[in-house]
Amino acid sequence: MQLPLFPLKSIFFPGETVPLHIFEERYKQLIQDCREEAITFGIPVFIYDQIAYGTEVQLVEVVNTYEGGEMDVVCVGRQAFKVISFQNHLPGKLYAGGEVEFIEDVHDATRQMKVGVLDKIKELYELMDVPFKTIPIDKFNMYGVIHKIGLSYEQEYQLLQMSKESERFSYIKSHLSTTIGVLKAVDRTKGAIKMNGDFKNFDPLDFKDFNIR
């Protein structure tokens, strides 16, 4: 399928709200086409000096229009895709485009997987002393918390490429387990330092008890 493309150094996921500030002429034209023709467009992720995967988005609302024609818009993520080909300009347009192949979203995660990840998120938030709002399992959408669990840009990009929900849950649970382990180790170290009064009062520059020749 051919899509208009708007490359960014940002990662958006299906179902996610996508706020954009539009100021370049080519993307003003793109938003105008979206309004008039009800087309969608893709946001491929610019990473490793290339674009290979991204997310199709749909325009929801133009929130503000400024005097110079700049716009604040809100879109919503739809489907992840792989870029097959790229053109700097679609025929008769200022903006880029290309052929994309949508990634099938396989909903194969079990209830047990979801409970396991939710428990890990709760544990992480408690360790960080951050309020955690309980999410019912039947309403739990991984993409709703994906930017809030300490994943790196590269890790989020890896998740975007995964078609199986079970694979994504396993990946996130592994990440959370590692992060929780690191935080607990830091807490133990802090506790040991606080308990060790001699360490706290030690002056590394006090050499009076040493016979230095």
* Residues linked to residue 20 through DSSP beta bridges, in sequence order: 73
Fold category of 2-102 in CATH: 2.30.130
Sequence spans of domains, the chain = 2-102, 111-198
Tens digit of each residue's pLDDT (9 = 90 or more) over 92-129: 999 999 999 999 999 999 999 999 999 999 999 999 99
The predicted model gives 68-87 an average pLDDT of 97
The pLDDT-based confidence of 188 (bands split at 50, 70, 90) is confident
Q: 79 versus 186: which is more confidently predicted?
A: 79
pLDDT in tens, 127-185: 999 998 888 998 888 898 999 999 999 999 999 999 999 999 999 999 999 999 999 99
- For residue 64, list its beta bridge partners: 72
Whether the predicted pLDDT of 40 surpasses 80: yes
CA-closest candidate to residue 135, choices 121, 148, 146, 149: 121
Question: CA-to-CA distance for 146 and 163, rounded, in angstroms?
Answer: 16
E-assigned strands of 33-175?
41-47, 50-65, 71-83, 96-102
Decide if pLDDT at 10 tops 90: yes
Rounded distance, CA 148 to CA 40, Å?
Answer: 27
Containing 3, the helix (H) or strand (E) segment is strand 2-5
Residue 105 is which amino acid? D
Q: What is the pTM of this model?
A: 0.84
